[in-house]
Chain A
Amino acid sequence: GNSVTQMEGPVTLSEEAFLTINCTYTATGYPSLFWYVQYPGEGLQLLLKATKADDKGSNKGFEATYRKETTSFHLEKGSVQVSDSAVYFCTLKAGGTSYGKLTFGQGTILTVHP
Chain B
Amino acid sequence: EAGVAQSPRYKIIEKRQSVAFWCNPISGHATLYWYQQILGQGPKLLIQFQNNGVVDDSQLPKDRFSAERLKGVDSTLKIQPAKLEDSAVYLCASSFSLNGEQFFGPGTRLTVL
The reply to whether chain A is a binding partner of chain B is no
